[in-house]
Every structure is written in C-alpha cells, then in structure tokens.
Amino acid sequence: MRRGGRAAALTRQAGAAILTAMLTVVLVATLAATALWQQWRGIEIEAAQRTRVQSAWVLTGALDWARLILREDARKGGADHLAEPWAVPLEQARLSTFLAADRNDALAADAAQEAFLSGRIIDLQSRLNVSNLMLDGKVHAPTLLAFRRLFELLGLPDRELAALVSNLKSAQGDAVARAPGTAASSAPANAPAFAANAPLWPQDLAQLVWLGLSARSLVLLQPFVTVLSVRTPVNLNTAPVEVVYACIDAFELADAHRLVAARTATHLATLDDAVKAGGNVAARFDSAQHSVATQFFEILGRLQVDQDVVVEQTLVQREGLEVRVLWRRRGNSPVLATLQ
C-alpha cells in the first residue's frame, strides 16, 4: 500500500512538472512571438515613414522641375500650345534613370531600381471655369450658354446645371454678405437674408456634388470643367473639341473639329488665327472668354516605390516668370487616381 501510494504521488509530481514545463514553454513562446511582432511592426513603421519622407522629397523635386519647365516656357513668350515641352507627359520611368551617371552613385542607383516616377502638366484654362458662371453677383449669360451647350453635348440633365447655378448664386451672395467689413445697412432693403446653411463657394471639382451635380455627371464633366479662384478665358490652343464647341456659341461641332485640326498643324498665335482656323464667319471671339495663353496649370505626379504608390496634385499660377504654388494635395482622390 505504501509503495502504491508513493508511486501515485511520483506520477502526480511528474505530471505537474510536465504541465509546468509546457506552460513555461508556451509563455516563453508567446513572449518571444510578441517581442518579434513588435520588432517587425517597428521596422515596418520605420520603413513606411522613410518611404513617405523620401517620396515627399522626390515629388517636391519633380514639382520644382515642372515649375522650371513652365518658367522657361514663359521666358520664350508667345502662345501656350500642346507642342511645347510642358505638354509632353512623363511616362513611367525608373527613378535611377534620373540619377547622375557616376560610378560613385551606383549604391543610390541600385536603391532606386524599384522606384518609378511619372507625371504630366495640364492646362486648366483648356476647360470651362465654374467661377465664370457668376459675375458681380449675377449669372454671366455667355458662360451659362457655354455650360448649357456642354451639358447638352454630354447628355447631362439640365436640371443639374440649374441647381448648380442657383447654389453658386447663393454661395457668392452669402460670401459677400458675410465678408468682413460689410455693413448690414449697406445692403438693399429688398436683399434676401442668407441662411446659416447657405452653400460655400466650391474650392475644387469634387465639391460640385454639394451644389447639385450627381457623381455620374461629375465624372463626365471632369475632363472639361475646372474650378479656379478667379475668372479665366479658355485657351483655344489646348481646349478639347467639346470645350471649343461649348465656348463659341456660333460653332457647330464640325467647326470645333476644324479648329482643333488646324491648330494641330500650326498653333494659334492670336485670336485672329482662331477666326481663320474655325472657318465660321459668324463666330465671335472675346478676349474675356477666349485666349491663346494660360496662367493656371495643374501638375500631377505619381511615385511608386515597390508596392507603395504616392500621388500628388498641385495647382500653380504663372505670372510672368514667377510660378506660384497655390495648393498641393497628396493622396488617392478620384482625380489623382486617374494618373496612371
């Protein structure tokens, strides 16, 4: 009996020891896995931060390069057209091709083998400017006609244009009424009282959905419409056929195609050249609505490092030889996603 009890006790002790050892192994493995995961996570975060900073520097360099191209183009003077260097897109290329051809730079070149850069410069005055719809608190009839012709050409509902114009009128009136230094007594007696929830003036194309446009209409309008802070004429050298047709009320679609074909052979140096290229004697060109030069450009850049993609959109204004950055955006917005 004593031997049996002692054997049972030893068996129990052995089982407890094995269980303790197993628990110790599990605990050590868990702690090791946790430490390994934290180390891996730290490395990934550091790598992501390093990639983000490096991408920002590369895209900043690309932006400076694009501004230099626009500045040199301004130095030459004359009209802005699609045969100029700024209009040639940068197709996707390895970043190493931009590095100095120096054997001492081989390490940097190897590191850049999996980095690809692409981009392009877009003439924003090749599009109809939403800001042109309003002038001194009133709807600008020629611009409204141009938008109506564009909506009709694209098959978009006229009610959306009416809603857009109505909301823009309210937004501009509310902005004037709320401007600092504007006295309430200076407003006419019959002036409307603007509601606290009056729409804000749009700052970019995506915000037009707040003012009456549907998402489908916005996608269709994106290549032909822009939102700038000031009124701008359409550059007939760079505008697509649809915009040329829309902004010249006497034009038929065939006239717009004729003008675009003519400017491809020889760019329009003056508005008089546009009159000849269009071939429509009834067409009237106004320097307030039509131009052959541009001040506002959009610079799009795309950088791919391994599997990470960074895209950037920049609005610049060129005045003389100065190319000012108005704003920069980085991310994956629908507009930026179109850059491939």
Measured CA to CA, the distance from residue 260 to residue 313 in angstroms comes to: 27
pLDDT given at position 95: 76
Is the pLDDT at 267 greater than 70? The verdict is yes
Among 110-124, 169-183, 265-279, 282-296, whose mean pLDDT is lowest?
169-183
Is the pLDDT at 47 greater than 90? The verdict is no
Structure confidence by residue, pLDDT tens digits, 129-152: 999 999 988 999 999 999 999 999
Q: What is the DSSP string of 243-257?
A: HHHHH-TT--HHHHH
Q: What does each C-alpha distance from 324 to 68, 71, 76, 132, 317 come to in angstroms?
A: 11, 10, 18, 22, 5
Nearest in space to 122 (alpha carbons), one of 224, 10, 257: 224
Question: 277, 269 in Cβ contact below 8 A?
Answer: no
pLDDT higher for 183 or 275?
Answer: 275
Burial of 302 (C-beta count, 10 Å sphere; 0-12/13-18/19+)? buried
Structure confidence by residue, pLDDT tens digits, 216-233: 999 999 999 999 999 999
Is the pLDDT at 18 greater than 70? The verdict is yes
Which residues lie below 8 Å from residue 267, measured CB to CB, with a gap of 6+?
Answer: 79, 81, 82, 83, 237, 292
pLDDT given at position 286: 87
* CATH number belonging to domain 1-127+223-232+295-340: 3.30.1300.30
Nearest in space to 277 (alpha carbons), one of 294, 293, 254: 254
Averaged pLDDT for residues 268-273: 92
The mean of the pLDDT values for the chain is 82
Is the pLDDT at 314 greater than 60? The verdict is yes
What are the sequence ranges of the domains in the chain?
Answer: 1-127+223-232+295-340, 133-217
Nearest in space to 234 (alpha carbons), one of 135, 142, 104, 330: 142
Is the pLDDT at 238 greater than 50? The verdict is yes
Is the pLDDT at 161 greater than 70? The verdict is yes
pLDDT given at position 330: 84
pLDDT given at position 171: 86
